[in-house]
Chain A
């Protein structure tokens, strides 16, 4: 190979490498910085689907639905928080777990949570939800009072679910926190991670 050709091959190789690196960086960061879509609290179908999750014994009381994704690191932190911190009195809490995970199910049951395991497709088709972790709070009349994230910053230490519920119970409307975490639906995952570096 001639010297000029070698030089061009080198420059081309370095350019390819730099382009690939920038792309990889971009897609990795997108997953972290992108504020995931949260459902519209006024969505009637969603309200109905959520209301169906509340058993008869808990009707008339506040209910919290935790949409968590077993493969999502952000959801893992919320799990730890839910299962290890004191829960608010008189609030029915249930977990919509995307992707089966026996350990999580065991811990949730031990902590007094109802758990429903479902697929990403089921979550989207039944609830129209495409991202996690997502906190949904229903009022005593099964109306959707809160749909948003748990923390003010991504994976922040301060998981504010209890404060949000208490604020709602006090008759105030808390600000909806941004939803940082993972895309659950295939479409969202492909959008956030076109190179397949983060999601399988």
Chain B
């Protein structure tokens, strides 16, 4: 019995919690019900008019009956209470209809009560029906209390009254059941969904807890490119908060547009499914850097059959690793430079002094025009490569790429990066860059001995002065040997390992400071010779050439002319290609002299693609400028397939100042 009673009460009473769906549903139904009752007013007035039962009274009483639902709709917070008000009002309206519809069909007007009781199921609340039925019961009881004869009229026996009541009870019970079923199966469906959603949310929370506590950012990208909501918290920290429906391309573009573009292209390719998935995955960007941080990107496609469903992206913060690598690289570079400075202090100091000037010119924006800036960056890159200062060379390379792309000066970030790296390098090398040591004239024991011997044998003071002057001069052999070593290092990196270097110095010596600029630019010609000129061993073999190639470096004087010559036995210059390129660039290209001039023109290159060493068309223009600065001229001789020779000719007086000039200076 208790259980039955409890079951009945549980059926009648709805759970206290109101879901959003029920709230919205009842708000809508209550509104409709209010309008439904408001529309009773004209209908009741019409009924009263037709039955001569007082239209004025119909207006008054119907309006009075409407006060309840209208006030409830406007003021009640709980929509279920508004529904209860409608249940009560429906029975009031029934009573008014019976009154104003009195006449031959007055009995039929009672059907309104039964119809409305059934319609109340729409509120999905058994209490509404019970309240309506209760209203009728209270009404009858009041009537019975007031005028007993009015209820048991014309001597109707009790059983007739019970039959009357039974229909109301029967309908009320059935409608309560329908209302509750409606609530459980339709309105309550939302509740069930909410419960399930809560469970899923709980699981997601646990998953998020795991995801948020690993050092990697995990996220999935749908086939439409949209980032899934469930992702590691660090993803939002690193890339900025992802809005709902945002694509991963948009997220990446916030921090690094280049990576975003690369990802978009690769993602499109993956989506098209033209390439095997593994190949498509290889096209995705694997690293990116922004705000001085470095990230690794890994990808795992989630497939259904062969169809891409999602792409799992794993972001790893590699800043610490990269910084460690950078530090190690910089340390290696520093150690290598210190070693080089011991082996060849003059060469090293030249490199350093020039690099210092170049870095200053680049980072302080001293280059007047873009071509000059390009040459400066290219020279710095080349010199850095020769001295294996890769960190500087890489920054230069990125600057060149950026300038090729935008045709504008590099942005402040790159300039700042270059300046910072240079400062660190300078700091590391301060021991070997001590100013006093640098200015000291060093002399090897054998040179010292030779000098004493020559002084004893020297007939004049002038000759002795010249001999002392020569102590400050650098033998071209040392310089050419240094260049030769650089050439072999470049060759090694380019897979040209057996380059033979032949040096003929003619016993000449040059004033190092005076020729520093030239030798710096001379590096471009060396790089061109190795990169463009000398073929790979297989190619040479196919052309019947032996070995890895020969590079001949020589200095000589003849008839007051000092020459510096570089010759390679490589593939030679393709003059037809030079002609085509010159024509395309709008340069004269008719005569051999035109083609030679075009070869040294700023920005002209015969290469379709630049490498780390050459191919940007700025090297030869730089050497020509350096040559002309010393009052010299350039001659080039080349035959396709046989090799190329550059000769730089200067007045012999340019080689070094006389003792008098030195003292005057």
Residues of A that sit less than 8 Å from B by CB: 10, 13-14, 17-18, 20-35, 73, 76-77, 153-157, 178, 191-192, 197
The range of chain B's interface size is: 35 or more
A28 touches B146 (CB 8 A): no
- Starting from the known contacts A21-B65, A34-B150, A192-B147, 9 additional A-B residue pairs (CB-CB under 8 Å) come to A14-B85, A21-B68, A28-B96, A29-B150, A33-B153, A73-B103, A155-B103, A155-B104, A178-B153
Residues on B with C-beta less than 8 A from A73 are 51-53, 102-103
Please measure, in the bound complex, the distance between the C-alpha atom of A156 and the C-alpha atom of B108, giving whole angstroms.
11
Q: With an 8 A cutoff between CB atoms, is B142 at the interface?
A: yes
The list of the 9 closest CB pairs from A to B, nearest first, reads A178-B154, A25-B95, A33-B150, A34-B150, A28-B99, A35-B153, A26-B142, A157-B104, A30-B150
Most B Cβ at <10 Å: residue of A29, A155, A178, A197: A29
Please measure, in the bound complex, the distance between the C-alpha atom of A73 and the C-alpha atom of B50, giving whole angstroms.
12
A153 touches B57 (CB 8 A): no
Contact of A18 among B88, B98, B102, B142 (CB under 8 A): B88
Residues on A with C-beta less than 8 A from B138 are 22
Residues on B with C-beta less than 8 A from A35 are 149-150, 153-155
Shortest Cβ distance from A35 into B: residue: B153
A197 touches B57 (CB 8 A): yes
Residues on A with C-beta less than 8 A from B150 are 29-30, 33-35
Q: Mark B56-88, 1 if CB is under 8 A from A, else 0.
A: 010001001101100110010000000001001
Residues on B with C-beta less than 8 A from A30 are 143, 146-147, 150
Q: With an 8 A cutoff between CB atoms, is B139 at the interface?
A: yes
Please measure, in the bound complex, the distance between the C-alpha atom of A17 and the C-alpha atom of B57, giving whole angstroms.
17
Contact of A154 among B51, B95, B106, B142 (CB under 8 A): B106
Residues on A with C-beta less than 8 A from B181 are none
Please measure, in the bound complex, the distance between the C-alpha atom of A197 and the C-alpha atom of B195, giving whole angstroms.
54
Please measure, in the bound complex, the distance between the C-alpha atom of A27 and the C-alpha atom of B142, giving whole angstroms.
9
Q: With an 8 A cutoff between CB atoms, is B584 at the interface?
A: no
A29 touches B65 (CB 8 A): no
A14-B135 contact given A25-B92, A33-B151, A155-B102, CB 8 Å threshold = no
Q: How far is the CB of A16 from chain B (nearest CB, A)?
A: 10
Q: How far is the CB of B656 from chain A (nearest CB, A)?
A: 102
Residues on B with C-beta less than 8 A from A26 are 139, 142-143, 146
A25 touches B151 (CB 8 A): no
Contact of B139 among A25, A155, A156, A178 (CB under 8 A): A25
B68 touches A33 (CB 8 A): no
Residues on A with C-beta less than 8 A from B96 are 25, 28
Residues on B with C-beta less than 8 A from A24 are 61, 64
B92 touches A21 (CB 8 A): yes
Residues on A with C-beta less than 8 A from B85 are 14
Residues on B with C-beta less than 8 A from A156 are 104
Q: With an 8 A cutoff between CB atoms, is B160 at the interface?
A: no
Q: How far is the CB of A67 from chain B (nearest CB, A)?
A: 19
Please measure, in the bound complex, the distance between the C-alpha atom of A191 and the C-alpha atom of B88, giving whole angstroms.
26
Residues on B with C-beta less than 8 A from A27 are 146
Q: How far is the CB of A181 from chain B (nearest CB, A)?
A: 10
Residues on A with C-beta less than 8 A from B65 are 21
Residue contacts A-B, CB under 8 angstroms, 19 given: A14-B72, A14-B85, A17-B71, A18-B68, A20-B64, A21-B64, A25-B92, A28-B98, A29-B99, A30-B150, A33-B147, A33-B150, A34-B153, A35-B154, A73-B52, A73-B103, A154-B107, A155-B106, A197-B57
A14-B68 contact given A25-B95, A34-B153, CB 8 Å threshold = yes
* Contacting residues of chain B (100-155) with chain A, CB-CB under 8 angstroms: 102-104, 106-107, 135, 138-139, 142-143, 146-147, 149-151, 153-155
A32 touches B106 (CB 8 A): yes
Please measure, in the bound complex, the distance between the C-alpha atom of A62 and the C-alpha atom of B472, giving whole angstroms.
166
Residues on A with C-beta less than 8 A from B149 are 34-35
Please measure, in the bound complex, the distance between the C-alpha atom of A111 and the C-alpha atom of B372, giving whole angstroms.
128
Shortest Cβ distance from B57 into A: residue: A197
Q: How far is the CB of B258 from chain A (nearest CB, A)?
A: 60
Shortest Cβ distance from A23 into B: residue: B142
Residues on B with C-beta less than 8 A from A76 are 52
B106 touches A34 (CB 8 A): no
Please measure, in the bound complex, the distance between the C-alpha atom of A27 and the C-alpha atom of B98, giving whole angstroms.
12
Q: How far is the CB of A194 from chain B (nearest CB, A)?
A: 8
Shortest Cβ distance from B85 into A: residue: A14
Q: How far is the CB of B47 from chain A (nearest CB, A)?
A: 13
Shortest Cβ distance from B151 into A: residue: A33
Q: How far is the CB of B505 from chain A (nearest CB, A)?
A: 104
Residues on A with C-beta less than 8 A from B57 are 197
